[in-house]
A and B are shown apart, each in its own frame.
Chain A
Amino acid sequence: NAGVTQTPKFQVLKTGQSMTLQCAQDMNHNSMYWYRQDPGMGLRLIYYSASEGTTDKGEVPNGYNVSRLNKREFSLRLESAAPSQTSVYFCASNGWGAYGYTFGSGTRLTVV
């Protein structure tokens, strides 16, 4: 099925460890996004890529880096994980003619 695929679905990290969250979409969308979702805070934009080759900071970029590898793939990296980064991470994509975002199923990350 067409859509947004995120890996892994679950991850537990120790403080200070690094990891990369992967996201791929097969809808030929130009724009891709990384959000985190925390109770009472809603969805907060971390980084986005309006088109291949560009990336921009969102509302909460500190502690994260991103790479738009190609049109399909957009990865999110935590260089030195902190407990405050415990959250559910969603990747989303959007393109011309598309209504709204298409979201992935999320990555549940716990940092201990």
Chain B
Amino acid sequence: QKEVEQDPGPLSVPEGAIVSLNCTYSNSAFQYFMWYRQYSRKGPELLMYTYSSGNKEDGRFTAQVDKSSKYISLFIRDSQPSDSATYLCAMSAKDTGNQFYFGTGTSLTVIP
């Protein structure tokens, strides 16, 4: 079993829709959670960073962490064609040092 599981999609939504992206994990020690966005033929870029449980909002993006269920989510409101990309979740624990564990990524297309 992989440390981090993520549905690869692809996910296709109309412009303006609310998008929900999810990851599950098995290591209860994970406490740092990140979402990366990767455009085609580019490197991943950090989108959201959260520590422990709870919600974090940044503009149209909301990251949620439910440690009891070992489940994290990224919500995108009012999705735009420019949101079309692959979204990767990543997480780490204090005892993993600076090593992060990545999901395989979910490919999202927002149709105008």
Contact = CB atoms under 8 A, between A and B. Distances in A.
A112 interface: no
Interface string A48-80: 101000000010000000000000000000000
A101 B88 contact: no
A86 to B, nearest CB: 16
Interface of B is mostly: loop
Contacts of A108: 41
- Bin the interface of chain A by size: 20 to 34
Interface in A90-112: 90, 94, 99-106, 108
A33 to B, nearest CB: 8
Contacts of A50: 97-98
B46 A42 contact: no
Contacts of A100: 34, 36, 46, 49, 90, 100
A104 B43 contact: yes
B88 A43 contact: yes
B100 A101 contact: yes
A44 to B, nearest CB: 8
Band of interface residues on B: 20 to 34
Contacts of A106: 41-43
B88 A99 contact: no
Contacts of A58: 99
Interface in A13-57: 31, 40-43, 45, 48, 50
Nearest to B36: A100
Contacts of A102: 46
Contacts of B90: 100-101
Contacts of B34: 99-100
Nearest to B8: A40
A50 B100 CA distance: 12
A58 B104 CA distance: 17
Contact of A103 (B6, B43, B98): B43
A37 B88 CA distance: 12
